[in-house]
Amino acid sequence: MPTNPATGRPAAETLGGRSSSVNLDLMRRQNMSAVLRQLYDHGPTSRGRLAAVTGLTKPVIARLVADLAERGLVRAGTSVPASGPGRPTTMLHLDGSAVALVAAQITTGRVQVRVSDLGRTELSAREHPIGPDDPPEEVFKHLCRLVNEACRSTRARGRTVYAVGVALAAIIDHGGRVVSSPSLGWQDVDTTGLLSEHLEDGSVPVFVDNVARMATLAESRLDPGPASDSTVRLEITTGIGAGLFMNGLLPRGVGGFLGAIGHIPLAGATQRCLCGRRGCLEALVGIHALLRAAAPDLLDAVRSPRESALAVAGRAQAGDPRALRGIRDTARWIGLGSSVVINFLNPERVVIGGYPTLLSPYMLPVIEAEVDRRVVVPGLGGTSVSMSALGTEAALLGAAEAGAQRVLDDPGIVPPSA
Q: Could you report the per-residue pLDDT of 195-216, keeping only the tens digit for each? A: 999 999 999 999 999 999 999 9
CA distance 292 to 107: 20
C-alpha atoms less than 13 angstroms from C-alpha of 222 in its C-beta half-sphere: 22
Long-range contacts made by residues 77-82, C-beta under 8 angstroms, separation at least 24?
77/44
Q: Residue 220: exposed, middle, or buried by beta-carbon count in 10 A (0-12, 13-18, 19+)?
A: buried
Do 396 and 150 contact (CB within 8 A), yes or no?
Answer: no
Which range (114-118, 300-304, 372-376) has the least confidence?
Answer: 300-304
Which range (82-86, 226-230, 404-408) has the least confidence?
Answer: 82-86
Do 37 and 45 contact (CB within 8 A), yes or no?
Answer: no
Q: For strands 74-80 and 99-107, give the pairing.
A: unpaired
The closest of 10, 5, 79, 13 to 35, measured between CA atoms, is: 5
Residue type at 335 in one-letter notation: G
Q: Do domains 99-211+396-413 and 225-388 have the same CATH topology?
A: yes
Do 162 and 98 contact (CB within 8 A), yes or no?
Answer: no
Please report the pLDDT score of residue 3 as a whole number: 39
Interaxial angle between packed helices 321-345 and 287-294, expressed in degrees from 0 to 180 and rounded to the nearest 10:
140
The topology under which CATH files domain 99-211+396-413 is Nucleotidyltransferase; domain 5 (3.30.420)
- The CATH architecture one would assign to domain 20-94 is Orthogonal Bundle (1.10)
Do 54 and 9 contact (CB within 8 A), yes or no?
Answer: no
The CATH code that applies to domain 225-388 is 3.30.420.40
Domain boundaries, the chain: 20-94, 99-211+396-413, 225-388
- Residue 342 binned pLDDT confidence (cut-offs 50, 70, 90): very high
Segment holding 406, helix H or strand E: helix 394-409
Residue type at 102 in one-letter notation: V
DSSP state of 377: S
For the chain, the first-to-last Cα distance in angstroms comes to 39
More confident residue, 341 or 25: 341
Q: Is the pLDDT of residue 258 over 80?
A: yes
